[in-house]
Structure 1
Amino acid sequence: MRYKDVLEVDVHSSYNIRSDRELMIGQQARDFMDSPRSKLCPEKIEEFYTNVKHLYKSAVKYIKERLSFFIWCLTSFSTTKVISRRIKERLPFKDPVLQHAEVVKTVKQTALFSSLHFFLKRFPVLIPEGTTRGEIEEEFADYQSTDITTCIDDRMDTTRGNIGPPVNEEGQLMFKVLPRVMVSLLCILHSSAHCERVFSLVRKNKTEFRSRLGQESLEALVVAKSRSGKAIERVYKQQDLKDYKSAYYRSLRANN
């Protein structure tokens, strides 16, 4: 599968199907199947895994059929070859952004600066003010030859943020700019889903009954509601509550 296009893989061939023990069924299901309390006979276990394979095959078939029908509706072409080509064109399998994004991985020895250069050239805003690409390239070279095993964390963004503390023999930070650039790469939106959620939140707050809601108030509402966690569970300091109350009264007096 590594050397084939995803859509060209025959999912119905037994050669491309994992063994029963390697199928992804979830940890809880795996523990239940292995535990004595399941009391499942071998025939039932075999039937279960057969249904799992059937589910995966049906899901892939459904996706391919839906994509084919969608492309057919857009292009009005019914030729299978044309539809297949259209699918490959619309799905981002070979998108250069995705291909170069591998530079953010923790495998730093195989990372290429050309990939990082791709992002710096495409998104100049990633370059911090007062910094040149040459300085970033120098830090990247030092990064590849420096042991950062103590900085590695389960979260990739934390790992990239942790590579800043190492210092050189003169007691200066070795990586001043590179961590900021790497974390910025992780902030690049991979889809429009987040933007759509913001638009939906704006529509829910600025309705026809609140048509005179000001831009500053709307922005404050969206920011407050976008914060993680439940609003009712948030804990505020007493001083913060006083500041909020004072700001509210000042706003009322200004409007009156």
Structure 2
Amino acid sequence: MGDFNIHMNTPSDPQCVALQTIIDSCGLTQIIHEPTHRNGNTIDLVLVRGVTTSKVMILPYTKVMSNHYLIKFEVLTHCQQANNNNNCYSGRNINAATTMTLADLLPLVMAPFPNYVGSIDNLTNNFDDDLREIIDSIAPLKQKRAPKRRTPWFTEEIRAHKLSCRKLERKWRATKLEVFHQAWSDSLITYKRMLTLAKAKYYSNLIRLNKNDPKFLFSTVASLTQQGTPPSSSTHSADDFMNFFNKKIELIRKEIKDNASQLQLGSINTNTTVCTTDTALQNSLSIFDEITLEELLQRVSGIKQTTCLLDPLPGKLIKELFVLLGPSVLNIINLPLSSGTFSKIAMRFVKPNIMTTAPDITKIDFADRDNQKYDKDLYIGSECRDYLSHHRENCDLPAFFSSVRRFYSGTCSYMMASFPFGDPVLVNARFLDIQNRQQCKFSQVTVIERYPHFLSKDDRKNVEEEFFMYQCDSLCAAIAEAERVDSAWHEFAKLKDTATRKTKYEALFKVAKSVLVMYHSNADCERIFSHVNKN
């Protein structure tokens, strides 16, 4: 049952023919034969097999909820309650020793994650896999049997009387004397009376102590009657539920509209000057600020200690060891906000011919509408585009696409103002690309002038000659096949002069290493200042 998005009202449509063939081959029956969409097409289907349906109704509803119609039908089926006699479940033995062992192993396991700069999906998957692997090695999942039902009213006095009753029963069964049978009967009646009174007293005290907690009282009654919460006897229909959600959506939209109206007013000065919509919303969603480790720790310390089946570690351990997990989790949160390159952002709203013909994309006027794509070509994501196509009549498309343009242009402006695009060292770092070394010039090795302390006087004399040799030297397989530039330079540093047997590119390798070890950001430095409360 659902939106198949295939026009079943057009039997000649190839997709309709293919779907009908699949339905017939599976022994299913399609019971919807009327339009289910405002455009008059039958695209919402209900497929049944082995059940009886009746009272099929298709009711058009307000556009606020959806442009699809409501389908109502009744189905007669037999529901059988599963009888689960197996009270087993999977669990881990978590104790103080587990926490201590994890605390010892986590620093080594978490070491690569705080400075990871690759794919956020790979980072998240590796983070989860490593945590699951380490917890499985320390506290593996084991099958456990649920404990028997607790009986706190069963006191030692009642237990002693039960043992006495069982002794009298064994005597009677062994001797078959009427005196022991009568004694056993009297003892059994007394035992049942004691048990009933103790149980009643226990629950009376429990209800008295929790008389202001209706949820606890209802769950207690349900446990006493050996049944769950009885189904509601309400006569609400599907129409009532639809009307409820319809009104709820209308209320949410009204609140958004009221908030937008207040935002448009902006700040009113003494002359009652009102800001325009463009001015009030100009800076909305222009940048995303990364959070700090202190903010993350504060958030985590205030959340409930709950656990989901998808969590790599139990919630209790995550909170207790979050000081060790925090930097890695912080990178997972901040990486998506900082990993988008400038060109990836620009290509989402700038025309391709402008991107390809510009000698330097940082010099493009991103706010110029002539350089931007048309509304239909802007990148907004498939889900957003599908939503707009189904709710076009309820959306202010010009205002929406105007906000998208402001967001992208504001992001590019922020990146140009914040990122070191024109830094000479970074611009000329292309000499590190060994495959294209012949196109480089020695003047690009500007790191020597900017950081003269990297090289000694003798190295400064040799670096230019080594650079020219570097351009003409042949590459061995280990260098040519290296996937990363730092790996290639690691192999390059091993090259020896055939005559002197000394390192062939000692000075040039020092320059390359100085550039490669530069931090990609100042996050580590800021983290240190945050730890010592100096920021």
TM-score in terms of structure 1 length: 0.48
Larger radius of gyration: 2
Q: TM-score, with normalisation over the residues of structure 2?
A: 0.25
